[in-house]
Chains A and B, each alone.
Chain A
């Protein structure tokens, strides 16, 4: 397949179909609606099913049933709708059901929700946050692969810009390697064989199972699974001109795209500024951030919220000070289209930060 000029939401939908997604359910909510529309259009020809669910609770429930039946299944919403899905996301981790959850966020106020989760119990979901469409069409396919690999929900984090920007992208299938057969999936065929399968967050085995697992033991192994994901999942990141940087600016998602551009401009002016972008928000690329900021005296975190990712940055760099240089920025639509998000305004903030931390001109 070759590159084609596509709007973000359609490109993401096409990439999901290329990844083998054959069941999608969602409840309309901008900017997730646009992806749902794309899936509704594509699924019949792909031999799959797209259901316009009656609520977010039902959307994730349907995707759960399809995923437990062995299909590659996905759902999603924006942060508000994902609030309604938190119970299921947590329970899907314990039931070990792979699923891709799209988080087409409004602004960046949902970083905590995505990386910490608002559900019950000890669980984690891998969170992938692309910066542009080229990365998005790859990461959304990787999300299906990782979900199957770890039998865990994986979150794909986009936003209004990603859903609506037009870019030339190749949405063809990406091969990430072989996966084990889903011999745990349900289709009824094992009923009556003496070894009927069970997909349950609380009763992991049948009572005649060769290795019976009780609930307490199961919860412990669920906890261990978090460590396995952290060990086996190499955190992904991007960095630019950090080697000799006095200041490193950390940002993710669409804002990182603007920050990356501005940092390039400031570099051309001779400012020793670097750029670091986490691609996996969980696991957070902590060690990589520490390495990238080794020579820096200032670490600025640009995010469009009151300061959320800065917690992960501070946990990574420990006793060194990281300063929030972003902030809330909404237009009246509420879709997170940030008036602050222009190269000129971002450059102003970075210059101010560098001046105040004694690294830039005017210091």
Chain B
């Protein structure tokens, strides 16, 4: 389905004020990411849930490096910028100094699984009361569509032109399933932003993770599958279905762990 907006005449309806629909924790202005990107919806879900749970005036976000980094000046949320892959350690230091704060990290699959895998694993194993959020689009989106450690088999990227091949490129990592068995981990889930229903499910997962942190049950993790039509080299409109068919069949959605508390 293609939709054309005529630009040679004034619009038939007056323009609407989009700011009226913006959540309170997003400052006026537009994001700079590509059309069809799945990250803005994920970012919005995160800040909406922080507000809905009443955590606004004690929340700090620790940002990794990726396209989503450009959200940081646009949020009315305190932000600490980390180096690529290092956000969980910064979150640890901050949380230890302010145990009553709500601390989340925002990282991509390149940031968390490629560059900073050891950081997140140890933070999880220590049972730090922080929430790590991974936006997983299966590529290095910001550099223009290169293979990451979560790129699914068969997926074409700039450095797996014929598709990811296990013999040549190794197997992708299922991050949520890898973290879940660790004793320090209270909550693990995987959602997606490819349609309204999945965004709704993802919001519930974020609620579960932030609740676990608030109740000091240990480390919580939400992986959110997001579209990257630019980095996937497909039409924007095809991206939600591509996510569903190619990514979510391997990185399966759902709540993977919701433990009452970490073992003593």
Contacts and interface: CB of A to CB of B under 8 A. Distances in A.
**Physical interaction between A and B:** yes
Interface of A: 22-23, 25, 49, 51, 53-55, 57-58, 61-71, 73, 87-88, 91, 95, 186-194, 196-203, 205-208
Nearest to B72: A203
A76 B190 CA distance: 37
Given A64-B89, A191-B59, A208 B94 contact: no
B93 A61 contact: yes
A127 to B, nearest CB: 22
A70 to B, nearest CB: 7
A208 B22 CA distance: 15
A192 B94 contact: no
Given A188-B102, A189-B57, A198-B81, A57 B94 contact: no
A53 B101 CA distance: 22
B56 A192 contact: yes
Contacts of B139: none
A67 B93 contact: yes
Contacts of B29: 207-208
A67 B59 CA distance: 17
B69 interface: yes
Contacts of B80: 65, 68, 186, 198-200
B142 interface: no
A191 B93 contact: no
Interface string B83-110: 1001011111111111001100000000
Interface in B19-73: 24-25, 27-29, 50-51, 56-60, 62-63, 69-70, 72-73
A49 B99 CA distance: 12
Given A186-B80, A203-B81, 8 more contacts: A61-B83, A62-B90, A191-B59, A192-B25, A197-B79, A199-B79, A200-B63, A200-B79
A64 to B, nearest CB: 5
B118 interface: yes
Contacts of B216: none
Given A87-B83, A207-B27, A188 B78 contact: yes
Q: When A and B form their complex, which 6 residue pairs have the shortest distance between CB atoms, in order from nearest?
A: A65-B93, A61-B89, A200-B81, A65-B90, A66-B93, A192-B56
B122 interface: yes
B118 A51 contact: no
Given A87-B83, A88-B86, A192-B25, A64 B93 contact: yes
A58 B94 contact: no
Nearest to A201: B81
Given A203-B73, A206-B73, A207-B74, A25 B79 contact: no
Contacts of B95: 65
B183 interface: no
Contacts of A63: 93
9 contacts: A61-B82, A64-B82, A68-B90, A70-B97, A188-B98, A192-B57, A198-B80, A200-B72, A203-B73
A146 to B, nearest CB: 21
B85 to A, nearest CB: 8
B199 interface: no
B49 to A, nearest CB: 13
Given A54-B122, A55-B118, A186-B60, A191 B90 contact: no
B258 interface: no
B255 interface: no
B169 to A, nearest CB: 25
B177 interface: no
Given A192-B77, A196-B78, A206-B27, A62 B58 contact: no
B72 A22 contact: no
B76 interface: yes
A193 B96 contact: no
A199 B81 contact: yes
B93 A205 contact: no
Given A64-B89, A95-B81, A194 B96 contact: no
A168 B111 CA distance: 49
A187 B101 CA distance: 7
Nearest to B76: A196
Interface in B93-136: 93-98, 101-102, 118-119, 122
Given A25-B93, A71-B97, A203-B72, A192 B82 contact: no
A70 B94 CA distance: 9
B75 interface: yes
A68 B94 contact: yes
Contact of B97 (A23, A55, A57): A23
A199 to B, nearest CB: 5
B96 A51 contact: yes
Contacts of A190: 57, 78
B260 to A, nearest CB: 26
B182 to A, nearest CB: 13
A63 B60 CA distance: 16
Contact of A65 (B74, B75, B91): B91
A216 B40 CA distance: 25
Residue with the greatest number of chain B CB neighbours at <10 A, chosen from A23, A54, A68, A196: A196
